[in-house]
Amino acid sequence: MNVFNYFEVQIIAVLEALTREGKLPQGLDFTRVTVEPPRDANHGDLSTNAAMVLAKPAALAPRAIAEMLAERLRPLESVTEVSIAGPGFINLRLDDAFWCARIADVLAAGPRYGESTAGQGLRTNVEYVSANPTGPMHVGHCRGAVFGDALASLLVKAGYDVTREYYINDAGGQVDVLARSAYLRYREALGETISIPEGLYPGDYLVPVGERLKAEHGDRLLSLDEAEWLPIARDTAIDAMMALIREDLAALGIAHDVFFSERTLHASGRVEETLEALKAKGLIYQGVLAPPKGKLPDDWEERPQTLFRSTDFGDDVDRALKKSDGSWTYFAADIAYHRDKYLRGFRNQIDVWGADHSGYITRMQSAVKAISDGNAALDVKICQLVKLFRRGEPVRMSKRSGSFVTLRDVVDEVGRDVVRFMMLMRKNDAPLDFDFAKVTEQSKDNPVFYVQYAHARIQSVLRNAGKDLGEELTPALLAGAGLSGLRDEAELALIKWLAAFPRQVELGAEAHEPHRIAFYLYDLASMFHSLWNKGKDDPALRFIIADDRPLTLARLALISAVGHVIASGLAILGVEPAQEMR
RNA sequence: GGUCCCGUAGCUCAGUUGGAUAGAGCAACUGCCUUCUAAGCAGUAGGUCGCAGGUUCGAGCCCUGCCGGGAUCACCA
């Protein structure tokens, strides 16, 4: 149950009744009426802006509307207090029994708590990672991978029908470079001494590809022209690189539903088809682009190009679809790809890109509008750079020497859970510092451990509880607990925060911001640790009270619910909850 | 020079899509371990939300213009 939605429905029902009675004018728009937790909990449990939002269109004073509304809200079940404050806020307070009943919601739903139907099964495609298949993933891919995966999980939780997709860029010049690099390793496998020229991939992850080419083709490829061996070497190498990448992703706990090959777009003629469709709409023309403002590129030459009218859709300049050699640009194929997604039924598309592609967003969104006649929406989430540190010192990486940090290095060193959580402790569009020393530190400075520790503490109490109760603590026993004994402010605050989880899921999903879940969990852990320590100061607040079985069960139900919500939230982030930390 | 992102406490960052007196953590200072895990908790202190206008009942959030930092800039992918 989303408490806030629940009361929003009731408040709007009251507004409709007032309208029918002629106390509010006909035809008011209630969509801007919201029910939220007030910023300051002292104001109440729920707050609505209805009176302020409706004042102007209704031509009434906010307080007049508020008075009318408040009068009708007071009799509602569970409402103990309705007050009008500030410029016209209506604050509601709900009785303890209502809040305690939310614990039962959590226990009944278990790991499913927080699931919502807000997404209404909207088919949604989240494309993320999409690293070029030219080598193992490096640390730069890490953030987008985790972000996209968590976002996808969050959307699933919120009721969207999500496909996780990886776009394999296997059609451009870089895979030919890969093929030549692999062919060199092939010759090496056949006994030649090789040196790797500048411009080819030096990484020794291609050595097994050379071996494999040797195993499959013997020395047959040596006598072939490049035009003949290149496709063979390329396919083998791409296949091997994708296998590497899938392993890297698996190490992060990521599995895509669809791996989509760019090459198949070209091979099937869908690029041409897409361009024909755009041409039919009058969006393609031969033209000459004005040179970029400011300093010109050294090799700038003015020439006619095949252009897409992205300026019709808000872009700054029209964009080229063909290269000077007549082949399609990456953009042309990308339009075809996004059109393909649209034709597969995805009107809701999300791409997760690195910061270096931010200049590409507007043209891609323009293209999606064009190919879908405005029926599909593309949201592009940009993940800013991750700066690596070791005890405060930046980690230097050089591509040329091949001394870059791979994703696997990071996962192996600090663990999947730490990587995933830390990548989500920042908004995606803010840069992120990642210090190997700090993220493995086991202290409250480290949010991963802080949240994990809360969960572990809860499990510890639940494990020990059986002894004190004299019988095994079962879900049924907890479910049957009478909850009325939970009266302490800290306990109620914790319950209210638990009840806020479904709303956080919906808001986070709608905003495409999984980091909200990480922050929510951090706050939840903090409230739990606080409650725990109250038991240190005041034994009456401990979870297990020897001579009060009903209260003990109520508190165990509460912390069990906290455990469920932590586990449920961590599941969205793809992090395992810790059962024990010693 | 164009475009995009960022600018909130000394530091690192949240800020419920425009709500009430702007919040955490670190660092500093003061307390809390015979008792469910001190890997924790409580408290003190710290702010002209980059600057200036605008929009309205109301702006950290929206608009315009500046200032500062980053990314990117026909044809690569």
Measure A26 CA to B28 C1' (Å).
60
C1'-nearest nucleotide to the CA of A175 = B77
Judge if A90 and A189 occupy the same domain. no
Q: Are A449 and A567 in a shared domain?
A: yes
Asked if residue A537 and residue A449 are part of one domain, the reply reads yes
Whole-number pLDDT of residue A471: 84
Distance CA A278, CA A288 (A): 19
Q: Is residue A454 one of the residues assigned to a domain? A: yes
In a domain, A149, yes or no: no
Same domain, A448 and A567: yes
Q: Which of A227, A244, A261 is the last residue of a domain?
A: A244
Full residue range of the structural domain in which residue A451 is found: 443-573
Measure A236 CA to B16 C1' (Å): 50
Per-residue model confidence (pLDDT) at position A521: 95
CA–C1' nearest nucleotide, residue A579 = B37
Rounded to whole angstroms, the distance from the CA of residue A452 to the C1' of nucleotide B70 is: 34
Report which residue type is found at A107: L
* Length A286 CA → B15 C1' (Å): 49
Residue A526's SS3 state is helix
Q: Which two tokens stand for residue A3?
A: 């408490």
pLDDT, tens digit, for every residue of A120-157? 999 999 999 999 999 999 888 999 999 999 999 999 99
- pLDDT at site A219: 95
Q: Report in angstroms the alpha-carbon separations of A143 from A230, A396, A420.
A: 33, 18, 8
Q: Which residues contact A319 (CB under 8 A, 6 or more apart)?
A: A307, A308, A310, A331, A363
For residue A397, what pLDDT is reported?
67
CA–C1' A516–B76 (A): 36
Those residues of chain A that have pLDDT short of 70 are: 294-296, 397-403, 444
DSSP A269-332: THHHHHHHHHHHTT-EEEEEPPPPSSSPPTT----EEEEE-GGGGT-SS-EE-B-TTSPBPHHH
Which pLDDT value is given to residue A41? 83
The C-alpha atoms of residue A193 and residue A124 are separated, in whole angstroms, by 51
Number of domains within chain A = 3
Give the nucleotide with minimal C1' distance to the Cα of A537.
B32
Do both A458 and A561 map to the same domain? yes
* A224 found inside a domain: yes
Does A104 reside within a domain?
no
**Domain annotation covers residue A192:** yes
Indicate the residue among A182, A209, A244 that finishes a domain.
A244
Quick one: A89 and A196 in the same domain?
no
CATH number of the domain to which A68 belongs: 3.30.1360.70
SS3 A208: helix
Please indicate, yes or no, if residue A500 is contained in any of the structural domains.
yes
A192 shares its domain with A76:
no
Q: Give the bridge partners for A126, in sequence order.
A: A164, A350
- Count Cβ atoms within 10 A of the Cβ of residue A469 and give its class: 0-12 exposed, 13-18 middle, 19 or more buried: middle
Whether A290 is in a domain gets the answer no
| Domain harbouring A539, CATH code | 1.10.730.10
Nearest C-alpha neighbor of A410 from the set A248, A570, A254:
A248
At which of A183, A213, A244 does a domain end? A244
Residue A272 tokens read as 């041409």
Single out the residue of A201, A191, A199 nearest to residue A238, CA to CA. Answer: A201
CA of A52: nucleotide with nearest C1': B57
Residue A87 is predicted with a pLDDT of 84
Strand B bases with any atom < 7 A from protein Cβ: 1-6, 12-17, 19-21, 23-27, 32, 35-42, 56-58, 70-77
The total of other beta-carbon atoms located within 10 Å of residue A42's CB is: 7
CB A151 within 8 A of CB A112: no
Q: Is residue A111 part of a domain?
A: no
Chain position carrying tokens 């039962």: A104
* pTM over 0.90, yes/no: yes
Q: Are residues A457 and A565 in the same domain?
A: yes
What pLDDT was estimated at residue A31?
86
| Nearest of A46, A153, A234 to residue A514 by alpha carbon | A153
Task: Say if residues A111 and A568 touch (Cβ distance below 8 Å).
Answer: yes
